[in-house]
Amino acid sequence: MSDQNDKLSPDSNYVDMPAGDPSLPEGWLEVISMDMEAKGVARKPDGKVVFIDGALPTELVTANVHRKKNNWEAASLLEVKRESSQRVQPGCHHFGLHEGACGGCKMQHMHVSAQVAIKQRVLEDNLWHLGKVKPETMMRPIEGPTWGYRFRARLAVRYVIKKGKVLVGFHERKSRYIADMETCKVLPPHVDAMLLPMRELIASMDARETCPQIEVACGDHVTALVLRHLEPLSDADKQRLRDFGKQYDVQWWLQPKGPDTVHLMDAPTAQLSYSLPDFGITMPFKPTDFTQVNPHINRVLVSKALRLLDARKDERVIDWFCGLGNFTLPIATMAREVLGIEGSDALVQRSHENYAANNAQRVEGDKLAPTTFVGRNLFNMTPELLMADGNADKWLVDPPREGAFALSKALADIHQIRIGAKQTGVATEEQPDLLPPLPEGHENWQFPKRIVYVSCNPATLARDAGLLVHQAGYRCVAAGVVNMFPHTAHVESMAVFERAE
């Protein structure tokens, strides 16, 4: 657990699975569970684990093995001998195991309630196998619309000379090629309706061979399309984009080089933004800023996280990895003082602007709590840096996929030094686990009473939960999944930690 970059082999969570049933006919496999990549997991009579694309738990199947390792094999579904009651007809004809199938979704063949149950099992398994943590309570899953939810998407674009047409969409399953998509039901209907017209648009352009990507970003009232182009656009091409924008009511942003070159092609007609109505907050953003893909779930997620955080008017709260202020600004409607810390200087600036704009619109007596935003590399956190941010009654932690290892480790180190579990001193090559003395005045620093941790990767959440529970003096009082990405194997989750007495 000490290595932030530890990775487990694909079979490591399945060591306790029973061996396959030797009474089954040769070649038949009974699917016991599903892994984080939405593959069915079975076991041969000799004990070897088999990961099967397209298979569902409880099914009897045959499979075509295409990769073999010492302890596991990877395979694709050939035939279902006994079908799961949770198998359904996929909602999109581009989904499947067939040649050219879209790789954007992996679970459309499974009933959505079963998808959620599988994701909750993944969360529980990771917490136990990786962190040896069992939450005191499993919270009810947060769910929302299962179609038309994806308000952000990065669509690949390619002019295929041999086919004489342009492709716009996601990549094929396990392929670098772009799927020949005519529709996408997880995109909002108005974006889905633009897929074929976008093909025609790019095909008509002078720069059709040098436009590799269109990024989609939808706000509550504005849809932005970011066109990546590898050569300057002609005036004729810009006019084609303008005509398309008027017809489909979208803003065009251009990206000639890296992300920092993204700019509006013309003066904006309206601002790209989303709202958090439970808190009276409106969040303007740029189309390349990080925002949650599913705004319906995001509203519920923020409200649920803040109910669990339960910030009071006499409390100071720190929001780690605060981004645009998605949690920070709502916390500022509840707490006495808020500190938002983020690794991106551009997002820190945007957070300042969003805070000022929202506060200016609020009446006296309903102003946001004093809030400070700071830029800092949170992957290099130390006990000294952590204490320098001062006492906070509660924390909200919302890291990227890498998790919050350094933050959790710093908290654990402080706890270990305080309880005298590890000798203090200067670490050496011979004694790498020695912890340096804490800075003068550390006795006045207090641990947060509660931590709400929002995660997009159950493996790194489990790793950090193990540190918080076993080395930092916390209890995991609750955890649960958030179905942010229906029909995909992506698992979003939330856990609550309270200081152990």
Active site residues: 456
- Collapsing DSSP to helix, strand or coil, 306 comes out as helix
Number of neighbours of residue 99 by Cβ within 10 angstroms:
8
Give 108-169 as a 3 state SS string.
Answer: CCECHHHHHHHHHHHHHHHHHHHHCCCCCCECCCECCCCCCCCCEEEEEEEEECCCCEEEEE
Q: Binding residue per annotation — 476?
A: no
Q: How far apart are CA 71 and CA 12, in angstroms?
A: 10
Q: How far apart are CA 265 and CA 259, in angstroms?
A: 15
Token pair recorded at residue 5: 């970059």
Residue 469 backbone dihedrals phi, psi, to 5 degrees: -80, -45
The residues pairing with 463 across neighbouring beta strands, listed in sequence order, are: none
Q: Binding residue per annotation — 218?
A: no
Q: Binding residue per annotation — 292?
A: yes
Q: How far apart are CA 386 and CA 179, in angstroms?
A: 47
- Report whether 354 contacts 325 (CB < 8 A): yes
Q: Binding residue per annotation — 379?
A: no
DSSP 424: B
Give 177-238 as a 3 state SS string.
Answer: CECCCCCCCCCCHHHHCCHHHHHHHHHHCCCCCCCCEEEEEECCCCEEEEEECCCCCCHHHH
Number of neighbours of residue 200 by Cβ within 10 angstroms:
12
Residue (of 60, 56, 186, 36) closest to 114 by Cα position? 56
DSSP string, 3-36: -TT----TTGGGTTSPPP-TTSPTT-EEEEEE-T
Residues 6+ apart with CB under 8 A from 425: 431, 434, 435, 436, 437
Please, what is the angle between helix 195-204 and helix 235-248, to 10°? Answer: 160
Token pair recorded at residue 368: 């946001």
Residue (of 470, 463, 480, 472) closest to 127 by Cα position? 463
Q: Binding residue per annotation — 321?
A: yes
Q: Side chain identity at 265, as an amino acid letter? A: M
Q: Which residues are annotated as a binding site for [4Fe-4S] cluster?
A: 92, 102, 105, 184
Q: Which residues are annotated as a binding site for S-adenosyl-L-methionine?
A: 292, 321, 326, 342, 377, 398
Q: Which residues are annotated as a binding site?
A: 92, 102, 105, 184, 292, 321, 326, 342, 377, 398
